[in-house]
Chains A and B, each alone.
Chain A
Amino acid sequence: MSCRLYQILYRLLPFNVIRSLLISKHLSICPACSVDWADKSELKPLLVAPGDIGPDPDLWPRLRRDIRSLQARLPVSPIKTFPWAATLRWGLAGAIVLLLVGIPGYLFFHQPEIQSGIVSVGDPGKNKIVVKFLKIEGRPADCYYFQSKDKNKLILWAERPGGKPKPE
């Protein structure tokens, strides 16, 4: 590639990674291109060098005074911190999140365990349902059945023992 092409690419591509590559591969080492870049000898007179800075005899005394006042502000005995404080904090935060998510989740998904002895007998076309037993959480449930006007529907209602059937 010619020098001009490198320079055009540098101008056109606003990506530092590519520009850096163009600089290190060509622009900084090519004698023709380096004409466009100021070198150290040209820039030295423009900048303040450490050599131009005289010693500041007041700096250390001022700094020492500031350091001493800083030290005076520090607590005499360091605050004792529990070494596992951060872990404990994160653990607590985790437990709170778990509780916040877990309790509603448990309530939402937990269904009372229903055991039933419902069996379907007879032909698939003319099923006959036999209820042998119905238990909720291991105890015999109160059972009711409702026959709606629709003769094809039979509603079986089971409640925990002692509960009352909801009015229809």
Chain B
Amino acid sequence: METQADILLVDRVLQGEESAFESLVIKYQATLRALATNMLGDRDEARDVAQETFLQAYSGLSRFDRARNFKTWLLAIGVKRCLDRLRRKKTSWKYFHQETQERNLGLVKPARSIEESEIFYPLLKKLNQKERTAVSLWVNEDFQAREIGAVIGCSEATARVHLFNARKKLKKGLGESKNEVTP
């Protein structure tokens, strides 16, 4: 049903109706930004990625395969852009670690968002990019292995393994952080 509605919007965009694309942006901007924030760990960067992703989607809309789900297609573009950004800037978690240290020294303002909380970084740092993407899609979008694979660009089996490895690492990490909190 949702897919059909998206395809109708895509058709309208291709006919030159700009407002139809605005509807798609409004519909998926939060999903895309949440995924990008979980991958990059930075709200501002995630916003830039969302803009780039929508722009890339717009210019490639004529090549969109109607047999595919628009949301999966859009998120796949977003994931690629996040990975490119991480590869290019090499920011990743090293950068965040530095920032956390600076914050502790009082050089940076205290955490202003959920993704900068003390518990967020050490735990998600244990995951690789694909595991982090898989877990984000599973928790937030209720995606199953097949859809996760379509977004990440791997097989269903590989996506299932990424997701389960992520869940296992996070479970272990949660247990350890609980032990650290309670003496």
Chain A contacts to B: CB under 8 angstroms? 16-17, 19-21, 23-24, 27-28, 36-40, 42-53, 55-56, 59-60, 62-64, 66-67, 70
Q: A20–B158 contact, CB under 8 A?
A: yes
| Residue of A19, A46, A51, A64 with most partner-chain B CB within 10 A | A46
* Residues of A contacting B170 in the complex (Cβ-Cβ under 8 angstroms): 38, 42-43, 46
* Residues of B contacting A62 in the complex (Cβ-Cβ under 8 angstroms): 51
Q: B124–A16 contact, CB under 8 A?
A: no
- Going nearest first, the 9 A-B pairs with the smallest beta carbon separation are A20-B157, A50-B30, A38-B171, A37-B167, A48-B37, A38-B170, A53-B30, A50-B34, A16-B158
Residue on B nearest A66 in the bound complex, by CB: B55
Complex CA distance for A93 and B161, rounded to whole angstroms: 45
Q: A37–B157 contact, CB under 8 A?
A: no
What is the CB-to-nearest-CB distance from B2 to chain A, in angstroms, rounded to a whole number?
15
What is the CB-to-nearest-CB distance from B122 to chain A, in angstroms, rounded to a whole number?
10
* B92 beta carbon closer than 8 Å to chain A: no
* Residues of A contacting B50 in the complex (Cβ-Cβ under 8 angstroms): 56, 59
* Interface magnitude class on chain B: 35 or more
Given A48-B34, A52-B34, A59-B29, residue A37 in contact with residue B158 (CB < 8 A): no
Q: A70–B59 contact, CB under 8 A?
A: yes
| Residue of B119, B120, B157, B174 with most partner-chain A CB within 10 A | B157
Chain B contacts to A: CB under 8 angstroms? 18, 21-22, 25-26, 29-31, 33-34, 37-38, 47, 50-51, 54-55, 58-59, 113-115, 119-120, 123-124, 135-136, 138-140, 145, 155-158, 160-161, 164, 167-168, 170-171, 174
Residue on B nearest A59 in the bound complex, by CB: B29
**26 A-B residue contacts at CB 8 Å?**
A16-B160, A19-B161, A19-B164, A23-B161, A24-B160, A37-B164, A37-B171, A38-B167, A38-B170, A38-B171, A39-B167, A43-B135, A45-B119, A46-B123, A47-B136, A47-B140, A48-B38, A48-B114, A50-B33, A52-B34, A53-B33, A53-B34, A55-B30, A59-B54, A60-B26, A63-B51
Given contacts A46-B123, A59-B54, 19 further A-B contacts (CB under 8 A): A16-B158, A19-B161, A20-B157, A23-B160, A24-B160, A27-B164, A28-B164, A39-B167, A47-B34, A47-B140, A48-B115, A50-B33, A52-B114, A53-B34, A55-B29, A59-B47, A63-B58, A67-B55, A70-B55
Given A20-B161, A23-B161, residue A44 in contact with residue B33 (CB < 8 A): no
Q: A43–B160 contact, CB under 8 A?
A: no
* Residues of B contacting A20 in the complex (Cβ-Cβ under 8 angstroms): 145, 156-158, 160-161
